[in-house]
Amino acid sequence: MSVRDGAIEDLRAAVGLQIADEELLRDLAGGLHDVEELLREVVRSDVQAVNEAARHLVEAGGKRFRPLFTLLASQFGKGGREAVITAAAAVELVHLATLYHDDVMDEATMRRGAPSVNARWDNTVAILTGDFLFAHASRLVADLGTDAARITAETFSELVTGQMRETVGPGDGEDPVAHYLSVIAQKTGSLIATAGRFGGMLSDASQEHIDALRRFGEIIGTAFQISDDIIDIDSPSHELGKSQGTDLREGVRTLPMLYELAEDRPDPRLAELLRGPLDDDALIEEALGLLRTSRGLERARATLSDYAQRARTELAALPPSPARDACESVADYLVARTH
């Protein structure tokens, strides 16, 4: 197996992507190889401290779902390979930049199995490195034209607005569940939507197909977060690759928790445990046990299935092809991984 084939196999395992078509498989593998090379070239700096911090997460790997989706979306057009590679690298740089900033806000110590930048260096270095990656993402899309630059700026705005809304919380009278779903659409869905939009736009796909890819990206991005919310509660730690109950430890109320608290008669003990962060392992395990049998978790699974079906509906606007089948397999995987 070549390096390129190995990279695609890793991605298939990570995001449930099923590709039976050998030609598509090799085309995506080649594209991802080119994206990786461009990422390493772009973040290189003559300043050693900047170079080390910027390359830290790039070299740690990850799912690379956003650049993969950019490449998949380009299958519905007829060209623009170089521009698509550039856009795929740019969306991944934006994603990595948000991870640097998120680790500071969450006081994280690990990221992708390695010490986070804020833990290895400090918060200032992590914030500045994230800014450095944002700057290089902007430089890349500037070469793609004013439309691409405008779309990137709009996506930045969505990402920051979503983070701000999450930090502040729902307003007076605002439904916490509706607030949460709209926040994750901004924080996660908006960038994946842009990845799909870029792939279609820069390969000269039809406007109908570009719009369908953008909508699919936003829906599937939101579904990814809901799926993560569920497995944080209902998957063993060895499958997660991290400690279970991370959200409980951080005092983050995810969709299953919000649904439970919205019940007419929520479990009183669980409601008490969800009032704030939990730092006692026994209390975390108690809360997880109650959540696993809760109506809130059941409703979250139903919502995930609904989002997956909505994503499949958007794909119906695209012509039948191995690329469309691959996108649909992601929606299937998100539901399957939570059962």
What is the pLDDT averaged over residues 84-106? 88
Mean pLDDT across 33-62 = 87
The confidence score (pLDDT) of residue 8 equals 56
CA gap 86, 145 in Å, rounded: 12
* Residue 269: domain span: 3-336
List Cα–Cα distances, 138 to 76, 93, 154, 338, in angstroms.
Answer: 25, 9, 12, 36
Average pLDDT of span 61-89: 93
pLDDT of residue 22: 87
pLDDT at residue 52, rounded to an integer? 86
47: alpha, beta or left, given left = phi > 0 and alpha = psi -120 to 50?
beta
Say what percent of the chain tops pLDDT 70: 87
- Residue 1, pLDDT > 50, answer no
Mean pLDDT of 146-168: 95
Q: What is the predicted pLDDT for the residue at 198?
A: 98
Name the band, by pLDDT with cuts 50, 70 and 90, for residue 115.
low
Q: Which residue has the higher pLDDT, 186 or 118?
A: 186
- For the chain, give the mean pLDDT: 88
Residue 136's pLDDT is 95
* pLDDT for res 241: 43
Lowest-pLDDT range, 5-9, 140-144, 216-220? 5-9
- What's the burial of 14, exposed, middle or buried (CB within 10 Å: 0-12/13-18/19+)? middle
pLDDT tens for residues 43-57?
999 988 888 888 877
Residue range 92-97: average pLDDT?
Answer: 94
Residue 333 and residue 328: Cα distance in Å, rounded? 9
Residues of the chain with pLDDT > 90, as a percent, come to 66
What is the band of 5 on the pLDDT scale with cuts at 50, 70, 90? low
CATH number of the structural domain spanning residue 25: 1.10.600.10
**Per-residue model confidence (pLDDT) at position 222:** 97
Stretch among 119-128, 232-241, 290-299 having the lowest mean pLDDT:
232-241
Rounded average pLDDT over 74-100: 94
pLDDT in tens, 200-214: 999 999 999 999 999
What is residue 251's predicted lDDT score, i.e. its pLDDT?
85
pLDDT: is 94 or 130 the higher one?
94
272 C-beta neighbours (distance < 10 Å), count = 12
Nearest to 229 by CA among 301, 311, 308, 327: 301
**Position 110 confidence tier, pLDDT thresholds 50, 70, 90:** low
Q: How would DSSP label each residue in 251-270?
A: T---HHHHHHHHSSS--HHH
| C-alpha closest to that of 56 among 106, 117, 103 | 117
Summarised one tens digit per residue, pLDDT across range 226-260 is: 999 999 898 754 344 446 787 898 788 999 999 99
Confidence band, pLDDT 50/70/90 cuts, at residue 58: confident
pLDDT of residue 157: 96
How many domains, in total, are found in the chain?
1
In the structure encoding, which two tokens stand for residue 130, read together? 């994230």
Give the mean pLDDT of 299-328: 96
Residue 219 has pLDDT above 60, yes or no: yes
Least confident of 1-5, 33-37, 262-266, 304-308: 1-5
